[in-house]
Amino acid sequence: MIKRKRFGQHFLNSNSIAKSIVSEAKITKNDVVFELGTGLGILTPLLCEKANKVISVDVDKQLIENAKSLFSNIDNLVLKSGDGFKTKDSFSIFVSNLPYSKSKKAIEWLAESSFSHGVIMVQKEFAEKLLAKSSKKRKAISVIADHAFEIKILSNVGKNNFSPVPKVDSVILEIIKKNLMNKDLIHTINKIFSYRRKTVRNILKQLNKESVIDKRVDDLSGDEIINLANQILEK
């Protein structure tokens, strides 16, 4: 099977890590689990054992065909090929070893989606960005993630647990939904960070609004950035 780099196809090869991801997801028989990226299906049957229903999507048709024949005897599994970020399905728990190039998109999409909690595997550097506390390291995605979720590091995963071996190590995170965000708010937070050297007064002036605050974006707390974004969005 050809592994396609552009789809982030580094498959987990450790059954014990797969088991611990599924156990950390705290799935009950009332839950609908959404798995983004079926891959070779290391997590999929384990999720089905715990859940009422599992919807597993992979952008790679070949992988879905493969999973359909492997898991034809599992009756609470729905396999779909396509872009998982375009799903209209509702779910209570999200589980994914994310394709790393789509991590930012995944966090923004999850911030807009209504669900209870999830377990995700991300590149170590991306996890550090999400959890960055100092304003220098903080990015728009750190503020979005902090507003949308409570995030806990569950464990570190070395690169040798994947085939083919990627260049980077990974981290497993628990994400618990705190606030539902909309597209406009997410877009505005990203916009604010494109002006990070400017003061609040100057940012708002540019948008025909007023403020007496002379602090720069880097000097604002996460909550202050959310408030500023909401002020910008006010009609």
Ligand X SMILES: C[S@@+](CC[C@H](N)C(=O)[O-])C[C@H]1O[C@@H](n2cnc3c(N)ncnc32)[C@H](O)[C@@H]1O
Contact set with ligand X (CB under 6 A): 7-12, 36-37, 39-40, 42-43, 57-60, 63, 83-85, 97, 99, 102
Which of 31, 146 has the CB closer to ligand X? 31
Minimum distance, C-beta of residue 59 to ligand X, in the bound complex (Å): 4
Q: Is 58 annotated as a binding residue?
A: yes
Residue burial 75-107, b: 16+ Cβ < 10 Å; e: rest: eebebebeebeebeeebbbbbbbbbbebbbebb
Which of 12, 189 has the CB closer to ligand X? 12
Minimum distance, C-beta of residue 11 to ligand X, in the bound complex (Å): 4
Minimum distance, C-beta of residue 76 to ligand X, in the bound complex (Å): 18
Which of 40, 229 has the CB closer to ligand X? 40
Q: Is 12 annotated as a binding residue?
A: yes
Helices (H), 34-123: 44-50, 61-70, 103-112
Q: Is 169 annotated as a binding residue?
A: no
Q: Is 97 annotated as a binding residue?
A: yes
Single-letter residue type at 233? L
Which of 126, 193 has the CB closer to ligand X? 126
Q: Report the alpha-carbon distance of residue 139 to residue 23 in Å, rounded.
A: 31
Strands 149-157 and 162-163: unpaired
Contact 48, 25 (CB under 8 A): no
Which of 86, 133 has the CB closer to ligand X? 86
Minimum distance, C-beta of residue 6 to ligand X, in the bound complex (Å): 8
Whole-Å CA distances, 96 to 12, 22, 93: 11, 10, 10
Residue burial 22-50, b: 16+ Cβ < 10 Å; e: rest: bebbebeeebbbbbbbbbbbbbbbbbbeb
Minimum distance, C-beta of residue 112 to ligand X, in the bound complex (Å): 15
Bridge partners, 77 (sequence order): 54
Annotated binding-site residues for S-adenosyl-L-methionine read 10, 12, 37, 58, 83, 97
Annotated binding-site residues read 10, 12, 37, 58, 83, 97
